[in-house]
Amino acid sequence: MVRRHDPDFRGFLSDNAAGVHPQVLEALIVANGGHQTAYGADAYTTALQEAVRFHFGERAQAYPVFNGTGANVVCLDLLVQRWDAVVCARSAHINIDECGAPEKLAGIKLLPVDTPDGKLTPELVDTVAWGYGDEHHAQASVLSVTQSTELGSVYTVDELAALVSHAHDKGLRVHLDGARLANAAVALGVPLRAITTDVGVDVVSFGGTKNGCLGAEMVLVLNPEAVSRPLFVRKLDGQLASKMRFTSAQLLALFDDDLWRTNAAHANLMAAALADAVRTIDGVQLTREPQANAVFAIIPPDVTPRLQARYPFHIWDEATGEVRWMCSFDTTLEDIHAFAAALREELART
């Protein structure tokens, strides 16, 4: 096999751009060979159920899926009727970055809410969760929160508990988009269940790909009474893997020796180091203090494309010039120092 990329080329585009953690690759090798029953009736998916119950409680049920969009669509599809609506932050991934998949695939009406930092509050939920019983009004029945958010912010345990309690009091079930749940748990210094099961979340999209997996996510049902026929919904939404042992083996690798925590802690630490490395550079304005593994800043618009050619990253807001730099489990201090030097060089050319 010919290598078709430069393994020394680095960037801050996304934690999806990083490679696969060596322990995850090893887990795939171990899971290979011989035959295992398809569609989840294998030893690795069975072991995954045990690991999930350990981390999320005895009622937790795991349904491995292919990707984050699929996890979110399946989770929401488990919770809604055809006339229902989902309350979410306007910046939420389900609203901005999934090409309308919740609407197109599951027929879900989204009710996006403007937030200053990506985090919803009970008061913000109430601005759209009304009109109950009115046949002309989509019925808000689900609240979707993201932890950590697309803006890099992290709900505290108390904030989540208050939000989930308020939603349940209004009759809303709660979905948590946990594509970066590990980063949030590490940032708060709490176990995974403290920001999911223990605060009353009903279903979770658990992310593995951004935390070192090759491609593995899962739908976590924490409250079985809140959902309807998850096996059938997963199949209907095109997220049932035939060789599921390989998806489950990756997720198991994250739980072994708390690799999920090690990887997320490193990514968060690198984001803090990156923020410190650039905050004193003239021409750079940090727009948010990093709470997880994302750094947001405003730099001159003419600098952005030149710097992107050297270190890929996303433009977050074209109107303001805000950019996003993501750190990963494999980001190094050398990457950060080299990036900061490149940023200084490009700023000097303006």
Question: Which of the four pLDDT bands, split at 50, 70 and 90, describes residue 166?
Answer: very high
Average pLDDT over residues 16-21: 96
Average pLDDT, the chain: 97
Q: What would the pLDDT profile of 48-100 be if each residue is shown by its tens digit?
A: 999 999 999 999 999 999 999 999 999 999 999 999 999 999 999 999 999 99
Give the residue ranges of DSSP H helices in the chain. Answer: 22-31, 43-56, 68-79, 93-96, 101-106, 122-126, 157-169, 181-188, 230-236, 244-255, 259-278, 303-310, 333-348
CB neighbours of 297 closer than 8 A, spacing ≥ 6?
278, 284, 285, 286, 287, 322, 323, 325
Q: CA 162, 164, 168: angle at the middle one, nearest 5?
A: 115
Which band of pLDDT confidence, cut at 50, 70 and 90, is reported for residue 264? very high
Summarize the confidence of residues 151-174 as an average pLDDT. 98
pLDDT tens digits, 97-130: 999 999 999 999 999 999 999 999 999 999 999 9
Using alpha carbons only, how large is the chain's radius of gyration in Å? 20
Q: What is the per-residue pLDDT across 177-236, written as a single tens digit (0 to 9) for each? A: 999 999 999 999 999 999 999 999 999 999 999 999 999 999 999 999 999 999 999 999
pLDDT of residue 350 exceeding 90, the answer is no
The predicted pLDDT at position 63 comes to 98
Task: Report pLDDT for 74.
Answer: 98
Taking the C-alpha atoms of residue 88 and residue 145, their distance in angstroms, rounded to an integer, is: 6
Q: Give the rounded percent of residues in the chain with a pLDDT score beyond 90.
A: 99
Q: Which residues pair with 323 in a beta bridge?
A: 297, 315
Instruction: State the DSSP string of 203-216.
Output: EEEEE-GGGT-SS-
Question: In this model, does residue 27 exceed pLDDT 90?
Answer: yes
pLDDT at residue 290, rounded to an integer: 97
Omega before residue 148 within 30° of 0, cis: yes
Task: Kindly report, residue by residue over 233-246, the tens digit of the pLDDT.
Answer: 999 999 999 999 99
The helix (run of H) or strand (run of E) holding residue 178 is: strand 173-178
Q: What angle do CA 209, 213, 215 make, to 5 degrees?
A: 60
Query: Measured between alpha carbons, how far is 40 from 49 in angstroms, rounded to an integer?
Result: 11
